[in-house]
A and B are shown apart, each in its own frame.
Chain A
Amino acid sequence: QSALTQPASVSGSPGQSITISCTGTSSDVDGYNYVSWYQQHPGKAPKLMIYDVSNRPSGVSNRFSGSKSGNTASLTISGLQAEDEADYFCSSYTSSSTAFGGGTKLTVL
C-alpha cells in the first residue's frame, strides 16, 4: 500500500487539460512544501517534472503545473499532447524519508 494516494488512471483528448491528484497526510504532503512529480514512459527511467509543489526544472514544458491544498497535491497538464501519455508519480518528503504515490496512468485519447 502506497503512502500517497493517486487515481489509477486518467484520460483526456489532445488539447484538453487534466489534473492528477495526490493525497497524503499531515506527516507528508500537508506538512512540507516538498511535493514533486515524475513522468515515466514505458521501459524508461522517471523524469522530474515538478518540485517543491509548483516549480518546474529547466527544460520542462510550462504546460505542466503543480499546486497543493492541505493534504492534497495536484499536477495539471494543459494542452494535452500524445507524448504526455505516460505514468505519473507524486512524492513527498516525510521525516527523513520520501514517500511515493502508487502512480497514475495517463491515456491521451
Chain B
Amino acid sequence: EVQLVESGGGLAQPGGSLRLSCAASGFTFSSYWMSWVRQAPGKGLEWVANIKQDGSEKYYVDSVKGRFTISRDNAKDSLYLQMNSLRAEDTAVYYCARYCSGTNCFRYWGQGTLVTVSS
C-alpha cells in the first residue's frame, strides 16, 4: 500500500523558515517524480513544485521561485520542501504527492501538513 506521510508544518513568522518532510513507503520511491501541492484554507489546489527521480530536474510555481527548494533523499525514501522568506499567503495545507508515471497527474497524496504564517 502506497503511503505518504508529511511532517514539519506549524506556525512560522513572516520572513521565517520551515522545512517540510514526506516519508514514502509501499513503492519504489526512486522511480517516481514527486511533487508538493498546497491548499489555502477554504481555497483550491495549487501546484508548488516537482522533482525528478534523481533530483536533476526541479520545477516551481512562480510565486515560490527563489524562496522554496524541493529536494529528495532516495536512500531514505523521503521528499522535502525547504521554505524560506515565508509570507502570509503561503499559509496552506501542504500535500506531498506521487506524480503519475509517464503522464501529468498526481496519483497518490499524503494527508497534508498545515503551515500557518502569522505574526
Contact = CB atoms under 8 A, between A and B. Distances in A.
A46 B104 contact: no
Given A97-B59, A97-B61, A46 B45 contact: yes
Interface residues of B, number: 19
Contact of B45 (A52, A96, A97, A103): A103
Given A57-B107, A101-B44, A51 B59 contact: no
Contacts of B54: none
B110 interface: yes
B44 A2 contact: yes
| Max count, chain B CB within 10 A of own CB: residue among A48, A93, A96 | A48
Interface of A: 2, 32, 34, 36, 38, 45-48, 51-52, 57, 89, 91-93, 96-103
Q: Would you list the 4 A-B pairs with minimal beta carbon distance, nearest first?
A: A93-B104, A34-B104, A36-B105, A45-B109
